[in-house]
Amino acid sequence: MKLKKNFDGLDFLQNNLVPLMFIIICAVCIPLSGFSASYLINEIVTRMGRNIFLILSLLIPIMAGMGLNFGMTLGAMAGQVALIFVTDWQIWGIPGVVLAMILSVPVSVLLGLLCGKLMNMAKGREMILGYMMNYFVTGLYQLVVLYFMASIIPIRHASIRLPRGFGIRTTVNLANMRQCLDNEFAILYKGVKIPVLNFIIIGVMCLIIIWFRRTKLGQDMRAVGQDMEVAQAAGINVDRTRIISIIISTVFAGFGQIIYLQNIGNFPTYTAHSQIGMFCIAALLVGGASVEKASIGNVFLGVILFHTMFIVAPRAGVAITGDAMIGEYFRVFVSYGVITLALVMYEIKKRRARSQGGELLAQAQRARREGGAQS
């Protein structure tokens, strides 16, 4: 029989500090913003449909003990490359989205493989490596998109080509696939548009994650995430498992970026991916996840809280200070602040656990010594 643990308020507060803080911020800002309930719900529902898939792609590397995958931006770049081709080939609507997803897979797999291999060389430093990989691969992406496309890689349409004849324009227009997923089977209820197909896709993705956790590979990832040495001793190929987790995350991030951009309807070719990792990670952390533990519930709660703050902060800023920019600064400050807080808390927890482990070991040695002296 499972014994119910006593409720520890301090422990609960410590574990849920970030979501609680955001609930308070939202509770204060929502009335100040003056938005109607239907407008606010409509905005949140739209952003849920747009962002959740991207954030779900972060769960698998956390399961494998690789922390927050800042390298998800690589997948986003793969998605963008695929969208450029699909736009050039004039494939519209849902077939365009599906084709872009298929085309993004080989690029994502390749980048994920590269990222995973490098992360295996820098175990314990995966997050900073993923973050730096963004900059490296962004350079590579710019080289390909700015110089190789329409010179080496054929691009037919002048509408996406730079006037100089090669390279892609600074903005790619996705008007022919804009909100094609959002509008399919959409339900309008009291001024709130529910993008049913998006939620079906998200639901399927959630089921895949739940199913994946129970597979042999999923169990291996959890074992690797808990203790790499023990997992290695148990016969699990740790390096391979970690690489697979990063590849899966990168592929899903590519899909997520395509879903995200089809909702927006255009994308800045050279910068669309740059902040996506940061905001997704911030949203996940706002939902109560940590560097070593995250669930689907954290994703949903995080998107709701983080984006509620995104929507209401500028108007609340106007109400409080008379300047919308204050709200804008506030939300950027909070995004980065929450990541910093999560990383600091993770490090503190790790050190505390290490020192507790050391104390236990010292106690055991002392007891053994005393036992030996008595005998």
| Chain contacts with another protein (rule: CB under 8 A) | 89-96, 98-99, 102-103, 105, 142, 146, 157-158, 162-164, 167, 169-170, 176, 270-271
Handedness of CA 345, 342, 309, 182 (dihedral sign): negative
- The identity of residue 174, as a single letter, is L
How many CB atoms are closer than 10 A to CB 207? 11
Minimum Å gap between C-beta 258 and another protein is 13
CA 221 – CA 218 distance, rounded (Å)? 5
Minimum Å gap between C-beta 163 and another protein is 5
CB contact at 8 A, 105 and 251: yes
CA 101 – CA 94 distance, rounded (Å)? 11
- The identity of residue 222, as a single letter, is R
DSSP 176: G
Minimum Å gap between C-beta 142 and another protein is 6
The helix (run of H) or strand (run of E) holding residue 278 is: helix 276-286
CA 197 – CA 181 distance, rounded (Å)? 6
Looking at the Cβ atoms of 89 and 300, the one nearer to another protein is 89
Looking at the Cβ atoms of 97 and 305, the one nearer to another protein is 97
Looking at the Cβ atoms of 117 and 157, the one nearer to another protein is 157
Looking at the Cβ atoms of 42 and 269, the one nearer to another protein is 269
Minimum Å gap between C-beta 177 and another protein is 9
Looking at the Cβ atoms of 17 and 99, the one nearer to another protein is 99
Looking at the Cβ atoms of 38 and 173, the one nearer to another protein is 173
Looking at the Cβ atoms of 142 and 295, the one nearer to another protein is 142
Looking at the Cβ atoms of 93 and 337, the one nearer to another protein is 93
Minimum Å gap between C-beta 18 and another protein is 32
Tokens of 312: 């209401």
Minimum Å gap between C-beta 55 and another protein is 25
Looking at the Cβ atoms of 75 and 225, the one nearer to another protein is 75
CA 194 – CA 48 distance, rounded (Å)? 10
CA 70 – CA 274 distance, rounded (Å)? 11
Minimum Å gap between C-beta 57 and another protein is 19
How many CB atoms are closer than 10 A to CB 94? 15
Minimum Å gap between C-beta 94 and another protein is 7
Minimum Å gap between C-beta 135 and another protein is 13
DSSP 6: P
Q: What are phi and psi of 172, to 5 degrees?
A: -105, 125
Query: Could you please report the per-residue DSSP string of 231-264?
Result: HHHTT--HHHHHHHHHHHHHHHHHHHHHHHHHHH
DSSP 177: G
DSSP 188: E
* CA-angle at 132, arms to 123 and 327, nearest 5°: 120
SS3 100: helix
Tokens of 97: 């989205």
